[in-house]
Amino acid sequence: MKPSDLKTHGPFRPEQVRSGDPYELSNGHPILCAPTGRDGTGPNGLGFSVLDSDPSVRRAGVDTGLTLGDDTLRAPDVAVGFEDSAGTWSTNAQLAVEYAGRGQDEGELRTKIQELLDAGTRWVWVVRLVVPARVEVHERGVAMRTVAQGQSLTAPGVLQNPVRVEALFDRAAAHEATLTNLLQRRGYRDLDAVLAQGIERGIEQGIEQGIEQGIQRGSAIGARDALLAVIAARGWALSDAQRTQVEQCRDMAQLLRWTARAATLTTPNEALEG
């Protein structure tokens, strides 16, 4: 569909679209949402993980259907702070993220950004996946600005923590940011703070065995505390066997591997595997 076609009023309404249908609506016209290519399929999940885990975020979603008007239904790649409404679809979103890779329909993207902003979305972040990767920040009434890798994005009142640009598409950076967010949800500043607390506990408990053994013991305790903090932040309930597996592990490297997996995988069975 050509951008000029969207200027006329189309016949469709959000209530006619069902969950799972591959369409958005713009001014009553259906917009086909094709399968995501390899450029975007991984980064979408990484960005959601980082934003959803932020300590201030209570609601985030992937491809969340947002009713932006009587004839407009949009589904940003990631939506943060959207509102509930009657029926299938939510409304508005404080922050929307769109991933743009090779072959992006720029005209359709501009229309989608404007519709989101007109409906009250405060920020639309467009993550450009082509080299050089970067993020374009769109706000209503403000000139678009570009934020490069190595710099951070902020969304005051929506996100507690700044988001480094690369955390929205780079696996290692996203995992690090997600882990920090989950630990902060449990009251820790970051992983170093958990490990330091564990070392202190280990020294106190192992002082009679010698300082060196106490520090080694404390490192394992700190790593175990970090793992349990992330598990609690995910809302997971461990089986008796899994809890025993964690509590009896003395290998700090293994505990840290489990912690990184717990921050990004979907079930405790996956996280504690291997």
pLDDT in tens, 154-183: 999 999 999 999 999 999 999 989 988 988
The predicted structure's pLDDT at residue 184: 85
The predicted structure's pLDDT at residue 253: 81
Would you say domain 3-170 falls under CATH 3.90.1570.10? yes
The predicted structure's pLDDT at residue 51: 97
Of 80, 92, 76, which Cα lies nearest the Cα of 52? 80
Asked if omega into 132 is within 30° of 0 (cis), the reply is yes
- Written as six digits, the tokens of 157 are 């009142």
Torsions phi, psi for 103 (to 5 deg): 80, 10
- Angle between helix axes 240-248 and 211-234 (nearest 10 degrees) is 150
Residue 153 corresponds to which amino acid? L
Rounded distance between C-alpha atoms, residue 253 and residue 255, angstroms: 5
Buried b (16+ CB within 10 A) or exposed e, 33-49: eeeeeebbebbbbbbbb
pLDDT 10s per residue in the chain (274 long)?
A: 545 555 677 888 888 888 878 878 888 888 877 656 555 566 888 999 999 999 999 999 999 999 998 899 999 999 999 987 767 788 889 999 999 998 889 999 999 999 999 999 999 999 999 999 999 999 999 999 999 999 999 999 999 999 999 999 999 999 989 988 988 888 877 766 666 665 555 544 544 444 445 445 556 777 788 888 888 888 899 999 999 999 898 887 888 888 888 888 889 999 998 6
Rounded distance between C-alpha atoms, residue 181 and residue 46, angstroms: 13
DSSP letter at 109 equals H
Where do the structural domains in the chain lie, given as residue ranges? 3-170, 186-271
Rounded distance between C-alpha atoms, residue 193 and residue 164, angstroms: 21
